[in-house]
Structure 1
Amino acid sequence: MDIDISLLDGVIKKTIQTVESSQEQIFEIAESARRERSAIQNEIAEIREEVYAVVDLVDSLDLKYRKSRAMLAMVSRNFHSYTEEHIHQVYKETNDLQVELSLSREREATLRQRRDELERRLQNLEATIAKAEQLMTQIGVVLGYLTGDFSRVGEALETAKQHQQMGLQIIQAQEEERKRVAREIHDGPAQSMANVALRMDIAEKMLKNEQILQALAELQELKEMVRLSLADVRRIIFDLRPMALDDLGLIPTLQKYVQTFEERTGTTAELVVFGREQDIDDAFKTPLFRLVQECLNNVAKHAKAKVVHVKLELQHDNVSLVVKDNGVGFDVIERRNKSFGLMGMKERVQLLNGTMEVASAPLKGTKVMFQIPLKAKMQQS
């Protein structure tokens, strides 16, 4: 069957334009929802402060009203002892307090109702934003697939059946990783910095009110928050690109990463290295680190292992890497085309002209073995 490639290219281009337009519209919806969310959060904060003030006022007025009523009752019982003007004054004060108290209570109820309405709107906006982010991820996968593999449709037709599924899953894994990093930054350092800014305002007000001890305590807490935020940022940077790899080298960086993995997960982790790092070209260090990182991530997420061993053997023309755990294991055939982690490692090893083998079975642990030639040039992606 003959296929008109130019016609297919035209259809793909129109599809890409439509998808891009939809992506922009969803982005605008998400941004609009985020702006409205920010405005509602500010309004809720203001209403809460106003509610606190009104509650204090109601409590104060209630106390005054009770005292005034008691005075009115006493005057009524002993009205012969008081002048008519005095009785009238007490009655007027009591009535005024009653009216003011009633209005304040009504104001409190109105504020609480408004706050509840805003919180419900905020929940709906959060759901809208989450849905928009999900759609953005899905559209990003489709768009990346269309503009990537499909942009060279003439070449891709012959091998599409073999690479179509893998290409889509790898792109989706990349999009999910970007989303994870963005969410990690948003939920971690970004939220902490916003909290620091808010707490700084509180400390400033304390200093203006000469509440020195309270301000010092607040600043001490702020210092700890900034320290934790800095640790989060360093951890995220290390996950993206460990600078120690350039400064210290592959082996010290792996030692630090394995130690951190053990402290973070509670899984006993052991790194054994044979050979010298000087035999490895710099171009191979980052891919090797990423292979160890991905293997340990899989152990942490899925293996439920108590012990994991990492063995790295560096030879003049070859690298052997073995990661073995005593976890729950899995059916290799069943998971072969379903695990993004395994597929990503396989793709990385293929770029290095290496080989990868996975040995595992349910309740038998997992062993992942890599063989990478050091002298062969890496494939161009």
Structure 2
Amino acid sequence: MEDIEKISADTLKLKEIYRTTLQTVEKNKTQMFSISEAARKEVDFQRKQLADIKGKLIEVIANVDYLENKTQLGKQSLAAASKAFSTEDMQDLYGEVAFMLDKLQYARQKEEHLRQQRDELELSLRRLEGLLEQSENMTLAIGSVATYLSSQFNKITQQVEFTQKCQSIGEHVIMAHEEERKRISRNLHDTVAQGLAAALMQLRICKLALADGDLEGTAHAIDDTSDNIKNCLSDTRQVIFDMRPMALDDKGLAFAIHQLCTTHRDKQTLHIDYSLNGQEYPLPKHVEIMIYRTVQESLSNILHHSGQTKGSIDINYAANALNIVIKDEGKGFDLQEKADLAAEEGDSRHHFGLDFMKEGARSAGAELSISSSPGKGTTVRIKVPRQDWA
């Protein structure tokens, strides 16, 4: 029990660690996505800026080329005018050439400035594109980690639920064992112990009667003692049968189940219609015991919960599997409602019997299904696939 509780506590701690880690990863994933989106918008903006600067640079370069040509032509005209000694023409041409030189110098400065802007923007854009690629890769990586952690978290949650269920079943099994011990102790006290005490008293009476020479009284006391011993023997056999039916070892599962039905009928507690089909084949003892206990629990549920005293058991030894169907036409119940009630109250006692049956069938390698609805009775189906048990 302490080991189960320790496992459950450790699993809960691990679950909490995983939950916190997953929340942190999800938060970082959201932040990284925001960074990626901001970087993508900045990349788009700078690409547009770069395209605009390149467009302006093309226009400026074309203007520089034009002004260089105009300036060269002006210089040639100025040289020609100087040969002709035309002072007026030289002054006009000199003014034009000076003006063109100023415009050319301004255009060249503008070209240089645009080239510098272009180079800086291209360098910034390359860095930003690298940052965008890294952020996108990191977002994908964090997403993969989040997905993995989420799947692991679900597994841990299932493990926690399974551990808690096992712990609950374990606790109830221990309680059931204790209750069974109390029941056996009470039965032994009420039947065998009292019967033996009565037999002992009868023997004393027999001794007194014999000492007095009362043969008739002696014979009567011996008969009473014999009856008491017979009853004690019968009660002892019943206790032994309840603990483990010998018929299960001697004559197999089908006969033991039939004997269980017969015992209920003889005690007038239940009338179970029993049918057997197919050729019985042996199963491992632990499988037969768990199947027998599952059938026993089903009959107990009919007796205590169905509101009926009638039911049926159909056993079919098919080639591929043993199939057992247990039916009653009692009041039935809502399986989901019962599970929800247990979940709300945090208590598995409302459906412990069903869980015990399912766990027992599972441990025996069997498949168990329960179908029920209010007013329409309950059907329990047990399927044990036939396999090589060697």
Where on the TM-score scale, by shorter chain, does this alignment land: which range?
0.5 to 0.7
Q: 1:323 Cα shift?
A: 0.7
Partner amino acid for 2:216?
A: L
**Where does residue 215 of structure 1 map in the other structure?**
218
Distance of 1:376 and 1:354 partners within structure 2 = 14
**Where does residue 379 of structure 2 map in the other structure?**
367
Q: 1:189 Cα shift?
A: 1.0
Partner amino acid for 2:354?
A: L
Rg larger for? 2
CA RMSD, Structure 1 to Structure 2 (Å): 2.6
Q: 1:249 Cα shift?
A: 2.0
Unaligned runs of 5+ in 2: 13-158, 340-347
- Contact 1:170–1:340, Cα closer than 8 Å, also in 2: no
- Contact 2:330–2:377, Cα closer than 8 Å, also in 1: yes
Map residues 81-96 of structure 1 onto 2, 5 A cutoff: none
1:252 aligned counterpart, secondary structure: helix
Map residues 21-100 of structure 1 onto 2, 5 A cutoff: none
Distance of 1:211 and 1:335 partners within structure 2 = 67
Distance of 1:252 and 1:224 partners within structure 2 = 30
Give yes or no for the alignment of 1:239 onto 2:242.
yes
Please list the CA deviations of residues 163-221 of structure 1 after superposition, one character each: whole Å capped at 9, or x if unmatched. Answer: 33333223222221222122222222122112211221122112112222122222212
Give yes or no for the alignment of 1:353 onto 2:371.
no
**Where does residue 189 of structure 1 map in the other structure?**
192
- Contact 2:254–2:315, Cα closer than 8 Å, also in 1: no
Distance of 2:209 and 2:6 partners within structure 1 = 61
Q: 1:324 Cα shift?
A: 0.6
**Where does residue 250 of structure 1 map in the other structure?**
253
Alignment counterpart, residue 291 of structure 1, candidates 280, 288, 294: 294
Distance of 1:310 and 1:343 partners within structure 2 = 21
Map residues 138-157 of structure 1 onto 2, 5 A cutoff: 145-146=1-2, 148-150=3-5, 157=12
Identity %: 28
**Kindly tell me: are residues 166 and 250 of structure 1, through their superposed partners in 2, closer, same or farther at Cα, counting changes over 3 Å?**
closer
Distance of 1:191 and 1:339 partners within structure 2 = 37
1:277 aligned counterpart, secondary structure: coil
- Contact 2:252–2:282, Cα closer than 8 Å, also in 1: no
Distance of 2:202 and 2:11 partners within structure 1 = 56
Please list the CA deviations of residues 205-245 of structure 1 after superposition, one character each: whole Å capped at 9, or x if unmatched. Answer: 12112222122222212211211111111111111111122
- Contact 1:352–1:377, Cα closer than 8 Å, also in 2: no
- Contact 1:306–1:326, Cα closer than 8 Å, also in 2: no
Give yes or no for the alignment of 1:344 onto 2:356.
yes
Give yes or no for the alignment of 1:326 onto 2:329.
yes
Alignment counterpart, residue 182 of structure 2, candidates 179, 182, 187: 179
Unaligned runs of 5+ in 1: 1-144
**Kindly tell me: are residues 241 and 174 of structure 1, through their superposed partners in 2, closer, same or farther at Cα, counting changes over 3 Å?**
same
Map residues 200-211 of structure 1 onto 2, 5 A cutoff: 200-211=203-214
2:326 aligned counterpart, secondary structure: strand
- Contact 2:291–2:361, Cα closer than 8 Å, also in 1: no
TM-score by length of 1: 0.55
Distance of 1:263 and 1:345 partners within structure 2 = 25
- Contact 1:274–1:314, Cα closer than 8 Å, also in 2: yes
TM-score by length of 2: 0.54
The alignment of Structure 1 onto Structure 2 pairs a total of residues equal to 233
Distance of 1:312 and 1:155 partners within structure 2 = 44
- Contact 1:279–1:315, Cα closer than 8 Å, also in 2: no
Please list the CA deviations of residues 46-77 of structure 1 after superposition, one character each: whole Å capped at 9, or x if unmatched. Answer: xxxxxxxxxxxxxxxxxxxxxxxxxxxxxxxx
Higher RCO (Cα < 8 Å, 6 or more apart)? 2
Distance of 2:287 and 2:355 partners within structure 1 = 19
Partner amino acid for 1:227?
A: K
2:301 aligned counterpart, secondary structure: helix
Q: 1:149 Cα shift?
A: 1.5
Partner amino acid for 2:383?
A: Q
